[in-house]
Structure 1
Amino acid sequence: MNFKFKTHMIIFPQIIIKILMIMKKAIFLLSLLFTPFLYAQNSENIVQGNISSFPDYAIIKTKMNLKDVVTKADSIPEFPGGIKVFKRKYFESIETLDVKIKEKVDTRLYFIVEKSGYVRNVKAVGTNKKHVEAAELGLRRIFARWKPATINGEPVRYLMYFPLTNKEY
């Protein structure tokens, strides 16, 4: 009996080590497979449409200079490194807020990428004033120059819209 116990003690860790090695290789291969999907710029998150169809049009038309602004273009504005890099830098620069467990964050961020590629007219709209101020300040802390949107090869002023909400998991 004592002999069987010792052999099980030796075999069991070896099996676990083999399983862990297989899992490690599988995770590595999957990460190689899905990396291009994670870093490709994606315009699905960027709303393109009529300015008057934006959720807060009544508010932003009084707070922002919308003269010559478009929301549809041949090419949308591009942040250096892509939209994922912009989002990462944005969330790194935004102040951490104390959000209560059941508190809903519903802030919408609007800004204009000028013909020169610089961001102007930053406006956030939402129900919580602290969240709105933090959203605006977070964007103002990013000083990178965008590649402007173009129509027929000419740069145009482009209104960007990002909804900031929390999700329940």
Structure 2
Amino acid sequence: MIAYLLKSGLLLAVFYAVYKLLLENERMFRFNRAYLLGSIVFSLLIPLQLFSIAPLFPAKIKTIQLDEIMIVTNESILNEVSYYEILFFFLATVYVLIAAILLIRFILNVSSFFLKMKKNSVAFVEDQKFVLMKETILPHSFWNAIFISKEDFANGRIPSELIAHEKAHLQQKHTLDILFAEVLQILFWFNPLFVLFEKAIKLNHEFLADEAVNKQFGEIKNYQNLLLDFASNQHTVALASNINYSITKKRLLMMTKKESIAKEIGKVFIVEAICSLLLFAFNAEAASQPNANLRGQNGNPINYVSANTKEPQFPGGIEKFYMFVGQNFKMPEEFSKQKIEGKLFIEFMVEKDGSLSEFNVVKDLGYGAADEAIRVLKLSPKWIPATENGKPVRVLYSLPITLKSDK
């Protein structure tokens, strides 16, 4: 899980940096919208490694590296391990608590809009739904409705440009983007990059809505002045598209910025190249160091995992295998007397029939530790063998075991 979060966080950081450096100041708003949303999806899915890409220069030999097993006899070490478990439980509790609070706040915010629709009168103008609020508010939109002041609506004090701005938000389904970003902030509240992405998404929404207004009315200068007149009202509504969101010099300048087709095509090409590179980097088959010995100890050919190989399975899953080793391993008496701690590495082969063979000590700690590890592995029940294209194959495993004895 930690590795997944680190990888997804790294991808998010790279994509956000690319957006800030290359895309934010360009009038390619629809591409930017797709890029921001796609970057988030890409960053969350790619680290899962749902598929793999064969490397350009694949190594001929690869082994499956198992997770480390720790075997201890010192009670203080066991207590130390339990402290980590307590810390993990504490952090998990904090995560769930904060996520629950954010989820409740999110549900209340969403519910508030539908409550407003029920409690206030609704009007339809040219098939557009307006919720007429009793209090004085700035026009804002959510889902399929525009929320405006009933008094201002009745007196015709709301400029047509502002209504067109909110209609653009609704027609382009900007609410869905915001809800998507909000849900991810609940799940990944500890990652500030999701906050930055939501801000970028909202600002790009404003660029899109401004563009729609200026295409409809063609009075950019008048629209800019209108926005500045409303900028002093700082009241905003959570989850809604607000007319006064980020009224900055950048947004006003974006309306008059000239487009450069060649420049935009070049930046799109660069972005696609970066995405392809990241896709390859995070999904290329991991290749281990090559080994000149292509046959096992008995002369049989060795098969190594590839994209088409279904890995062997210990009965009950790999966690059961770790438990099996830990429960059967007996610390050698001489090893305990020497009060040694360290890590040994054992390689073993899972045969086509699921049995284990060809045990090889890659790194030993001495005093019978490796012999004990091999003894335990020989006790293992048969695995479900690996298959490649439907046929059973032999696969090599590497198992690290950390031993800590009394001191």
Shorter-normalised TM range: 0.5 to 0.7
Higher relative contact order (CA 8 A, sep 6+): 1
Aligned to 2:342: 105
Aligned to 2:389: 152
Residue 135 of structure 1, CA deviation: 1.0
Aligned to 1:79: 314
RMSD: 3.3
Equivalent AA in structure 2 for residue 124 of structure 1: V
Identical amino acids, percent of aligned pairs = 25
- Distance in 2, matches of 1:62 and 1:153, equals 22
Aligned residues: 119
Residue 71 of structure 1, CA deviation: 2.4
- Distance in 1, matches of 2:343 and 2:401, equals 6
Q: How does 1:1-169 map to 2 (within 5 A)?
A: 53=289, 64-65=297-298, 67-73=300-306, 74-97=309-332, 98=336, 103-129=340-366, 130-142=368-380, 144-166=381-403
Matched position secondary structure for 2:345: strand
Runs of at least 5 residues in structure 1 that lack an aligned partner in the other structure? 1-25, 34-47
- Distance in 2, matches of 1:152 and 1:69, equals 16
Q: Higher strand proportion, which one?
A: 1
Residue 166 of structure 1, CA deviation: 4.7
- Distance in 1, matches of 2:379 and 2:300, equals 25
The answer to whether the 8 Å contact 1:113/1:157 transfers is yes
- Distance in 1, matches of 2:287 and 2:301, equals 13
**Which structure is larger by alpha-carbon Rg, 1 or 2?**
2
- In the TM superposition, what whole-angstrom CA distance separates every residue of 1:34-76 from its partner, at most 9, and x where no partner exists? xxxxxxxxxxxxxx8667x27xx58x88983463212214211
Q: Higher helix proportion, which one?
A: 2
Equivalent AA in structure 2 for residue 149 of structure 1: A
- Distance in 1, matches of 2:299 and 2:363, equals 20
Aligned to 2:70: none
The answer to whether the 8 Å contact 2:296/2:302 transfers is no
The answer to whether the 8 Å contact 2:345/2:364 transfers is no
Matched position secondary structure for 1:88: helix
